[in-house]
């Protein structure tokens, strides 16, 4: 039986018992509306740990004023099913008032890594993410925590934060799970109507073209980005937020492809902002 826990104290008490019995704890933080991407993280955690905790919390402090906090999709009953099917033992589902009972004076900033890509467009987003993940790490105190490469910048930021602040937690990055036509699974895909859903394949199609150019030894980033922009602009429902090639570790922009890189994009399809990426390593 899966336990649904809403209170921090109760979760701490429950996990203390497991820890006393030398059980390892895996943790999968999510905002809910679980799909196969989340499922792959939960499954991996339950394979690698005795107990898996999935948090479902739509974190208000990582949403900007004009973002989709209020309309973010929620369905706890379905989430419960996905969590159980993939081996989770506990869902932590706190209310906003439980996580933020009073005005927060303390925030976690992972500098530099939050400047490029989504950081440049979503001011304060990664501060909100790093702060809530710190709170959740302190509440759950897991042995391992699982994050998707779908949010590559988030993963890089969490890894650096864990190193800098000496969290004794192993961070595990998991591959992107996609629909059959290549679209990366996302809770936000539920916003797309049929026409938009078809248009949304432009992200992966363009990433594939970029990969092909790099495979064919193209190293000039401007040439690659120009091709990508032109390709995306052919899709009338798509509006580019950014397409960038950055160093895989520092996330700084590069002009020439020599070392390991991250190719990342954010594209509006209608009103829905979708992200996708791949990393390219040279050895
Ligand atoms: P979210 O609920 O969107 O905050 O995502 C929770 C976790 O699931 C994050 O670590 C995401 O990177 C991961 N995730 C979301 N979509 C995917 C996907 N398509 N494939 C793999 N992981 C994903």
Residue 40 alpha carbon to ligand 1 centre in Å: 9
Q: What is the pLDDT of residues 172-226, one digit of tens each?
A: 999 999 999 999 999 999 999 999 999 999 999 999 999 999 999 999 999 999 9
Q: What is the pLDDT of residues 230-274, one digit of tens each?
A: 999 999 999 999 999 999 999 999 999 999 999 999 999 999 999
Q: In what order do the strands lie in the sheet with 144-148?
A: 3-5, 90-92, 51-56, 25-30, 144-148, 170-174
CATH of 187-277, one of 3.40.190.10, 3.40.50.2300, 3.90.1310.10, 3.30.1300.10: 3.30.1300.10
Mean pLDDT along residues 84-109: 98
| pLDDT for 110 beyond 90 | yes
Q: Which of 256, 210, 250, 212 is nearest to 232 (CA)?
A: 210
Fold of 3-174: Rossmann fold (3.40.50)
| pLDDT for 283 beyond 90 | no
Ligand 1 pocket, 31 CB below 6 A?
Answer: yes
Atom of ligand 1 nearest to the CA of 147: 10
Query: What pLDDT sits at residue 32?
Result: 98
Ligand 1 pocket, 125 CB below 6 A?
Answer: no
Rounded to the nearest integer, the mean pLDDT of the chain is 98
Q: What is the pLDDT of residues 3-23, one digit of tens each?
A: 999 999 999 999 999 999 999
Give the length of the chain. 283
Q: What's the CA gap between 274 and 166, in Å, rounded?
A: 32
Site to substitute for ligand 1 among 151, 169, 273, 274, most atoms within 8 A of C-beta: 151
pTM: 0.98
Domain positions in the chain: 3-174, 187-277
């Amino acid at each position: 039986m899966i336990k649904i826990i809403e209170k921090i104290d109760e979760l701490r008490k429950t996990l203390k018992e497991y820890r006393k019995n030398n059980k390892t704890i895996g943790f999968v933080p999510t905002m809910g509306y679980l799909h196969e991407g989340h499922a792959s993280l939960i499954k991996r955690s339950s394979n690698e740990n005795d107990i898996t905790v999935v948090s479902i919390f739509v974190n208000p402090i990582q949403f900007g004023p004009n973002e989709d906090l209020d309309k973010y999709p929620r369905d706890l009953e379905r989430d419960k099913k996905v969590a159980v099917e993939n081996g989770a033992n506990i869902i932590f589902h706190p209310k906003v008032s439980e996580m933020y009972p009073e005005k927060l004076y303390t925030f976690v900033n992972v500098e530099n890594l939050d400047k490029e890509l989504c950081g440049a467009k979503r001011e304060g987003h990664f501060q909100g993410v790093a702060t809530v993940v710190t709170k959740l790490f302190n509440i759950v105190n897991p042995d391992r925590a699982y994050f998707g490469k779908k949010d590559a910048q988030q993963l890089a930021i969490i890894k650096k934060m864990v190193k800098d602040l000496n969290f004794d937690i192993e961070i595990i990055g998991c591959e992107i799970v996609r629909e059959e036509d290549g679209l990366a699974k996302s809770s936000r895909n539920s916003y797309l109507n049929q026409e938009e859903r078809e248009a949304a394949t432009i992200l992966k199609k363009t990433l594939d073209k970029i990969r092909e150019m790099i495979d064919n030894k193209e190293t000039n980033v401007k040439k690659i980005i120009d091709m990508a922009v032109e390709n995306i602009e052919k899709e009338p429902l798509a509006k580019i937020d950014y397409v960038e090639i950055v160093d895989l570790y520092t996330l700084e922009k590069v002009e020439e492809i020599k070392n390991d890189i991250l190719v990342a994009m954010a594209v509006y399809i209608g009103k829905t902002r979708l992200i996708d990426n791949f990393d390219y390593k040279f050895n």
